[in-house]
Amino acid sequence: KNRFTANAVTSTCCYCGVGCGVVVNKEKNGTITLQGDAEHPVNKGMLCSKGMNLHYTVNDKSDRLLYPQMRYNKSMPMQQVSWDEALERTAAVFKTFIDKYGPDSVAFYASGQCLTEEYYVVNKLMKGFIGSNNLDTNSRLCMSSAVVAYKTALGEDSVPLCYDDIELANCFYIMGGNPAWCHPILWRRVEAHKAANPNAKIIVVDPRVTDTCAIADLHLQINPGTDITLNHAIGRLLIENGDIDIDFINNHAEGFEQYSTIVFQKTLAEAANICGLSESSIRLAAKYIGEAKGFITMWTMGLNQSAIGVNKNLSLINLNLITGHIGKPGSGPLSLTGQPNAMGGREVGGLANLLPAHRNLNNPLHREEVQKFWGGTAIQPKPGLTATEMFEALNDGRLKAIWIMCTNPLTSLPNVRLAEEALKKAKFVVLQEISNKPETLAYADVILPAAAWAEKEGTMTNSERRISYLNKIIDPPGEALPDAEIICRFARKMGYKGFDFENPAAIYAEHVKLTAKTNIDISGLNYEILKEQKTVQWPYKKKSLQKGTPRLFTDKQFYTPSAKAVISPVEDTLTSEKPDDDFPFILTTGRIRDQWHTMSKTGKVNKLNQHYKQAFLEIHPDDAIILQLNDGDITVVTSRRGEVQVQAKLTSQIKRGVVFLPMHWGKILNNDLNRANNITSDQVDPISKEPDFKYCAVNLQKY
Ligand code: SF4
């Protein structure tokens, strides 16, 4: 049961895409405490280590930016200025670049941690008024491969199922994810379900033995990059065993013939050899899936962050389609969103190739519709620069100014030293941020202090299309302002009409109007309903829907032109940087249990820093012996792009020939040798433009 005090209000954890509810108590001294919301449909009172300690990050104001700062040229020190001064100068500089070089000379780089209302106004400003599509977010580094795959397979960027399907499934196939650490509360539900139903089968596909494997019936310790080969081999076995849904394939899907041709191109023995698995283990996986009455596939960055991320996603979704496990209880593909509101961002069109309500930039009718609604300038058909392209464009001078909000690119971008060079060359950098820690601050010309979680109101959408309302609980420190307010004030300084919103509810009201008659229609929704219901799942066309729409495609009508799901016969050629004599190991990167992204919030919490105090390199003991590396030895890890120096952590839980680095650490006191992204590859998937964080060639040496 919730323990409400008179000052308690509900909110949503702002870390991962699971979207757990919290009850926040405002104490008399102005600090907050919190607990899991026992009445919340997602977490039913549970919180993971990060969520449990969320209040510390808000109560500790020691690193907070408190007032706007500015410098007139790069050699001058920053000085405190008023909001008007900071925004007027920024508007003047933006106008100068736009007049001289055109609207594409400026860009906004935002974040999957922004609230939906914040995304909405920055998207409207950039695409509808400045007249450029250079608005991308760090969701490009996270979910963009899954977005393309959903659109291709289902006709819409739409997760078809809900978390309540977990308790109705009897086979789970988890590929390229470690939800026990990265989506813990969702995984607790799978664990509880498995404990109550021991016959439910859990298959985990990962080159590392992770905590997720603890309850697995089958762990397929695959060679990195061979996911498509494995999925095709399983597809072939399902066809051979007659474990496919012929009725679904014939009446509700297309592409099966080409698919079966491609999956029969390799024998099981060939596929097993490529994947580094036994034939019997692949047969067992196919048996578990074939026998399932409810089958859920789950995945996250191991599939998305790849040079072939879209194809990896499609090969996985194909398994749901050929077995007909979609649009019915306990079944479907469930992509686990990395960030709390990546989905909300996409709903308002917050990527360089999107328009509001999942409209397409390349559709002239969609552009006209949105332009008329906003009343601004004509929307350009050319997609804007994506996350990594923005930094390339700063490097070669095409882009003059960048406005970075709510993200820390100098830790999180691939081949990050190149991004650092780009920011050095940028003519003008605006940074909208809560903390004085991120290394990006050193390159800023204007610093705008933003309100943090619990200091502003708005909405977010989690991995199961669940929209939740976040209360404002305390005031932001100093002169910090909510991100949406900052963007609206700037838009007004630019002279644009349509940014006089009275409050976030008014922004939301405008957003929901734009969704009317689209596949993600939430035109029946407003803040009052959200406050009353706490959460609803889209679509939500009218109030009578109560809690929204938990499951899509129950009528087997998909959003494609033919209304059929598309089974894609994807190639399984890996295009990533391959190991060779100079760089013989494969590097993969990922998260640890108690840290979040670049640690600007979780790094403030002592308890969370106890799990791992510094970055490390996981390496198999048999590889370590050859390199004469002992546990704890400083290891120099080099790639074609740079180097990292961290302690070796010997573990037989990683495959030989593969090494693992956590992605959280950045530059500490001018030392960047903990930073995994010094060495990661900036190759991207050609369609989704998502970087290949999980696969590049490295060399190792004892320091
Ligand atoms: Fe927050 Fe995710 Fe943990 Fe839930 S699982 S408490 S949303 S970090």
Distance from Cα 455 to the centre of ligand 1, integer Å: 19
Residue 247 lies in a domain: yes
| pLDDT surpasses 90 at 620 | yes
Residues 322 and 217 in one domain: yes
| pLDDT surpasses 80 at 543 | no
Residue 463 lies in a domain: no
DSSP letters of 592-630? -TT--TTSTTGGG-HHHHTT-SS-EEEE-HHHHHHTT--
Domain end point (choices 274, 309, 336)? 336
Residue 543 lies in a domain: no
Q: Alpha-carbon distance 207 to 204, whole Å? A: 10
Distance from Cα 580 to the centre of ligand 1, integer Å: 40
Q: What pLDDT sits at residue 411? A: 94
Q: Alpha-carbon distance 686 to 668, whole Å? A: 33
Q: What pLDDT sits at residue 2? A: 65
Q: What pLDDT sits at residue 74? A: 87
Q: What is the pLDDT of residues 277-288, one digit of tens each?
A: 999 999 999 999
| pLDDT surpasses 90 at 600 | no
Residues 383 and 494 in one domain: yes
Residues 303 and 368 in one domain: no
Q: Alpha-carbon distance 600 to 652, whole Å? A: 31
The CATH number linked to 597 is 2.40.40.20
Residues 427 and 323 in one domain: no
Task: Give the residue, by CA position, lying nearest to ligand 1 atom 2.
Answer: 16
Residues 345 and 305 in one domain: no
Question: pLDDT exceeding 90 applies to what percent of the chain?
Answer: 92
Q: Alpha-carbon distance 630 to 648, whole Å? A: 7
Question: pLDDT exceeding 70 applies to what percent of the chain?
Answer: 99
Q: What is the pLDDT of residues 19-60, one digit of tens each?
A: 999 999 998 888 999 999 999 999 999 999 999 999 999 999
| pLDDT surpasses 90 at 542 | no
Distances (CA, A) of 399 to 89, 391, 413, 696: 19, 8, 17, 28
Average pLDDT on 573-599 reads 95
Q: Which domain holds residue 21?
A: 8-59
Q: Which ligand 1 atom is the nearest neighbour of the CA of 43? A: 4
Neighbours of 278 (CB within 10 A): 11
Q: Exposed e or buried b for every residue in 588-618, given b needs 16+ CB within 10 A?
A: bbbbbbbbbbbbbbbbbbeebeeebeebbbb
Q: What is the pLDDT of residues 443-502, one digit of tens each?
A: 999 999 999 999 999 999 999 999 999 999 999 999 999 999 999 999 999 999 999 999
pLDDT range class, residue 667, cuts 50, 70, 90: confident
Residues 95 and 230 in one domain: no
Q: What pLDDT sits at residue 385? A: 98
Residue closest to 327 by CA, chosen among 556, 567, 153? 556
Residues 77 and 224 in one domain: no
Ligand 1 pocket test: pick from 10, 11, 18, 53 the residue with the most ligand atoms within 8 Å of its Cβ: 18
pLDDT range class, residue 1, cuts 50, 70, 90: low
Task: Give the residue, by CA position, lying nearest to ligand 1 atom 4.
Answer: 20
> What total number of domains does the chain contain?
4
Task: Give the residue, by CA position, lying nearest to ligand 1 atom 6.
Answer: 51
- The pair of three-digit structure tokens given for residue 259, joined into one six-digit string: 């698919």
Residue 575 lies in a domain: no
Q: What pLDDT sits at residue 254? A: 98
Q: What pLDDT sits at residue 339? A: 86
Q: What is the pLDDT of residues 120-135, one digit of tens each?
A: 999 999 999 999 999 9
Q: What pLDDT sits at residue 210? A: 97
Distance from Cα 538 to the centre of ligand 1, integer Å: 21
Q: What is the pLDDT of residues 312-360, one digit of tens each?
A: 999 999 999 999 999 999 999 999 998 889 888 899 999 999 999 999 9
Average pLDDT on 628-643 reads 97
Residues 353 and 325 in one domain: no
Q: What pLDDT sits at residue 4? A: 63
Residues 137 and 151 in one domain: no
Ligand 1 pocket test: pick from 10, 12, 14, 15 the residue with the most ligand atoms within 8 Å of its Cβ: 15
Distance from Cα 187 to the centre of ligand 1, integer Å: 11
Q: What pLDDT sits at residue 626? A: 96
Distance from Cα 542 to the centre of ligand 1, integer Å: 30
Q: What is the pLDDT of residues 242-264, one digit of tens each?
A: 999 999 999 999 999 999 999 99
Q: Compare 686 and 672 and report the one with higher pLDDT.
A: 686
Q: Which ligand 1 atom is the nearest neighbour of the CA of 185? A: 5
Domain end point (choices 311, 336, 361)? 336
Q: What pLDDT sits at residue 28? A: 86
Residues 204 and 300 in one domain: yes
Q: What is the pLDDT of residues 133-181, one digit of tens each?
A: 999 999 999 999 999 999 999 999 999 999 999 999 999 999 999 999 9
Mean pLDDT score of the chain: 95
Distance from Cα 300 to the centre of ligand 1, integer Å: 15
SS3 446: strand
Ligand 1, CB cutoff 6 Å, lining residues:
13, 15-16, 18-20, 43, 47-48, 50-51, 183-185
Q: Which ligand 1 atom is the nearest neighbour of the CA of 47? A: 6
Residues 37 and 178 in one domain: no
Q: What pLDDT sits at residue 3? A: 64
The CATH number linked to 394 is 3.40.50.740
Residue 537 lies in a domain: no
Residue 579 lies in a domain: no
Residue 635 lies in a domain: yes
Distance from Cα 217 to the centre of ligand 1, integer Å: 25
> Residue 395: which H helix or E strand, with range?
helix 387-395
Q: What pLDDT sits at residue 545? A: 66
The CATH number linked to 46 is 2.20.25.90
Residues 177 and 220 in one domain: yes
Residue 354 lies in a domain: yes
Domain end point (choices 59, 79, 94)? 59
